[in-house]
A and B are shown apart, each in its own frame.
Chain A
Amino acid sequence: MAYTEQDLVTMDSIIARYPRKRSAIMPLLHFTQSRDGFITGEGIELIAKKLDLATAEVSAVSTFYTQYKRKPVGEYHVGVCTNTLCAIMGGDEIFSGLKDHLGIENDGVTADGKVSLEHIECNAACDFAPVVMANWEFYDNQTVQSAKDLVDSMRAGKPKPPTRGPDSLPTWKENSAVLAGLNDGRSAEGVQAGEPSLLGLKISKKGAKG
């Protein structure tokens, strides 16, 4: 897509956050992903130009990090944690269940472009295992069925809300902008903490009362 004047201004504001402009390469990649949906040649060339880098230097960085996608993902990108703990607790079954249900493989996208699927590494929510992420929002304590219901809701255009996240699920591009450090004003939505996060605190308080 063509970048608008406003986009270029936004990119300059991202660059201005840093004492040295090369540091802006990662948020700028997130930003171009929020515009293009994935890392495009146009995005790489634009970033290289903005940062006075060779295009190879930008593509070298973009290929190092798994969140930068080489090809389009779905409007809702679903990641199933299959690192050891989640896998054993059910992540493997959820992942294979979703592959069957959606008829796609790892890194695949449904034909309608709504849902893409990826097995992901530990997402720092092990006390909520098994964990599924969608557009990098938390869907905690999933089962095979709840995960299927979730992707069905996405395909129906009304995705279920995250368990610890905003009140409704933003799109892939919308969340990519958040990762570029662009505030979408939704930080106050959702719970402050999930139940497991509060477990020790609650036990401690109970103990103190008792």
Chain B
Amino acid sequence: MTKLMPVLSAHWDEKDSFTMAGYKRHGGYDAAAKALKMEPDAVIQLVKDSGLRGRGGAGFPTGMKWGFIPQGDNKDHYLVVNADESEPGTCKDMPLLLANPHVLLEGMIIASYAIRAKYAFVYVRGEVTHVVRRVQQAIEDAYKAGYLGKNIFGSGVDLELVMHVGAGAYICGEETALLDSLEGFRGQPRLRPPFPAIAGLYARPTVVNNVESIASVPSIIANGAEWFSSMGTEKSKGMTLYSLSGHVQNPGQFEAPLGITLREILELAGGIRPGHQLKFWTPGGSSTPIFTADHLDTPLDYEGVAAAGSMLGTKALQIFDETTCVVRAVLRWSEFYEHESCGKCTPCREGTYWLVQIIQDLENGKGTEADLEKLLDLCDNIMGRSFCALGDGATSPITSSIKYFRDEYIAHVTNQGCPFDPHASTLFAGTKVGA
């Protein structure tokens, strides 16, 4: 049985966890002070040694990313933190920032020092005003404490840190779209190469990291690479936040070493809601192909989930029980991708527009079996043909759901409509407040 390992979330139960005092009480900013006494390259090496990989979905080794920044190039370098958490099902970074924004700032100070950045940005999605307040206040408090601004920690190093608030565009979670957005353009992905490490923000070397990745850095500096790499599995080191939601007894955040299984988390969470069974789930948000009860024992690390045909993604475990119509679920995700497609490339822009129409027909009983083949062929024409991963993501729920629940799609055709009662899936099923 894998044990939970609260590190990032260790003190979220303290009322003032988000304040400077609350953070300092448990050694907050000591790691930054320590790191600033190290050589920047040694900091990068330490993070490399820890095995920390990106927590935003792709799982790229964080230390290696930092190491790509050319040194001694006499150019400005930038650190940009991606706090645009918008992948459906993903809900780890926002509670983290609400409860402890300082751990992110400390991580940013360390990372900026390591990559020799004098300017750092945190790009927070715009639909979370109270998170924005907490981050803003934390930044102001860190400036007052001398942790940001000129000569931070008396080290002679300068660092400006700016919060940038988004305005409702999922695509800005894609790192190059985020950079365009931060530069004041429409948030559409950029051509790569050049990669951000060479020409990122303002065409200068830039590291873009997820909130959780950067927030993990202070603990690595404080406790060492070995401590971190002692957790997790062979290639997926350390602890991470798993976000359990949906038809479970107790949804919530579970910080555990990488490699824990859904069965273990469900056990801790009290299982599926009473009287119901697990039908399907996402391992890491809507863009990761869905799983079923057959995957309860899949180790939730980068390799384990990939081997089972999906992606670890953001570890957003959305749980759906047998009352849920998979076609309805997929339709809604498809509508999401259509709404959030940036419009730049043809396959995603036009493809998501078409996908929705086909799935709508299927859900409403107006589809045919041939539509399923058309749907799969269309997915084939979008997957790997789009400019960025958004288009790929749009096909994941469709292809994976047809793989596991083809019969249910067919049932919509033969039944000439959806055989499910949507009310039965609600949390208030059986109560009088239903529609």
The answer to whether any beta carbons of A and B sit under 8 Å apart in the complex is yes
Query: Can you name the residue of chain A whose Cβ is closest to the Cβ of B434?
Result: A93
Known contacts A187-B137, A197-B99: A126-B128 contact under CB 8 Å: no
Residue B426 lies at the interface, judged by CB distance under 8 Å to chain A? yes
Q: Is the CB of B98 within 8 A of A92?
A: no
Contact call A126/B251, Cβ cutoff below 8 A: yes
B-facing residues in A142-193 (Cβ within 8 Å): 143-145, 162, 164-166, 170, 175, 178-181, 183-184, 186-188, 190-193
A203 and B253 contact, CB distance less than 8 A: no
- What distance in Å separates the Cβ of A55 from its nearest Cβ neighbour in chain B? 14
Q: Select which of A83, A181, A192 is within 8 A of B14 by beta carbon.
A: A192
B88 CB contacts on chain A under 8 angstroms: 83-85, 121-122, 126
Q: Mark B105-140, 1 if CB is under 8 A from A, else 0.
A: 000000000000001000001111110111011101
Q: Specify which chain A residues have a CB less than 8 angstroms from the CB of B243 in the assembled complex.
A: 126-127
In the complex the two chains form, is A179's CB within 8 Å of B329's CB? no
Picked from A84, A135, A200, the residue with its CB within 8 Å of the CB of B336 is A84
* Contacting residues, chain A, for B137 (C-beta < 8 A): 183, 187-188
**Residue B226 at the chain A interface, CB threshold 8 Å:** no
- Closest Cβ of chain A to B358, distance in Å, is 17
Residue of A nearest to B15 (CB): A192
Given A93-B434, A127-B244, A193-B12, check contact A19 B168 (CB 8 Å): no
Taking a contact as CB atoms under 8 Å apart, the answer to whether A66 and B169 are in contact is: yes
List, in ascending order, chain B residues with CB within 8 A of A1's CB: none
Q: Is A97 engaged at the interface, CB distance under 8 Å to the other chain?
A: yes
**Do A85 and B89 have beta carbons less than 8 Å apart?**
yes
Q: How far is the CA of A124 from the CA of B132 in the complex (A)?
A: 14
Q: How many angstroms between the C-alpha atoms of A20 and B180 in the bound complex?
A: 13
A19 near B202 with CB under 8 A, answer: yes
A23 and B119 CA atoms in complex are apart in Å by 13
**Interface contact A181-B136, CB-CB below 8 Å:** yes
Which of B3-11, B32-40, B212-220, B227-235 forms contacts with chain A?
Answer: B3-11
Q: Which residues of B332-369 are within 8 A (CB) of A?
A: 332-333, 336, 339-340, 342
For A120, list chain B residues within 8 Å (CB): 127
| A200 contact set on B, CB distance < 8 A | 4, 6, 9, 242, 252-256, 268
Q: Does A35 contact B (CB under 8 A)?
A: no
Point out the residues of chain B lying under 8 angstroms from A143, CB to CB: 427-428, 431, 433
Number of A-B contacts (CB under 8 A): 283
Nearest A residue to B99 via CB reads A193
Residue A202 CB within 8 A of the other chain? yes
For A135, list chain B residues within 8 Å (CB). 129
Given contacts A136-B129, A192-B16, contact A201 B433 (CB under 8 A): no
Known contacts A194-B95, A199-B253: A126-B89 contact under CB 8 Å: yes
Does chain B have a CB within 8 A of A138?
yes
A129 touches B134 (CB 8 A): no
What's the least CB distance linking A69 to chain B, in Å? 10
- Indicate if the CB atoms of A22 and B183 lie closer than 8 Å: yes
Asked if A198 CB lies within 8 Å of chain B CBs, one says: yes
Residue of B nearest to A197 (CB): B95
Q: How far is the CB of B384 from chain A (nearest CB, A)?
A: 24
Q: List 15 additional contacts besides A124-B93, A164-B98, A192-B15; criterion CB under 8 Å.
A: A19-B119, A30-B126, A67-B168, A68-B167, A84-B329, A121-B336, A124-B128, A128-B91, A129-B245, A136-B127, A170-B129, A179-B126, A192-B18, A192-B22, A200-B252
Would you list 15 pairs from A and B whose C-beta atoms are within 8 A, ordered by A residue? A20-B183, A22-B184, A24-B184, A25-B184, A68-B167, A83-B333, A83-B336, A88-B324, A121-B340, A136-B126, A143-B431, A183-B133, A198-B252, A203-B254, A207-B3
Chain B interface residues toward A at CB < 8 A:
3-6, 9-10, 12-19, 22, 76, 85-91, 93-95, 98-99, 119, 125-130, 132-134, 136-138, 140, 162-170, 181-187, 202, 242-247, 250-256, 268-269, 286, 316, 318, 320, 324, 328-329, 332-333, 336, 339-340, 342, 422-423, 425-428, 431, 433-435
Q: What 9 A-B pairs come out closest when comparing CB atoms?
A: A199-B252, A196-B252, A65-B167, A22-B184, A126-B245, A200-B254, A187-B137, A66-B168, A67-B168
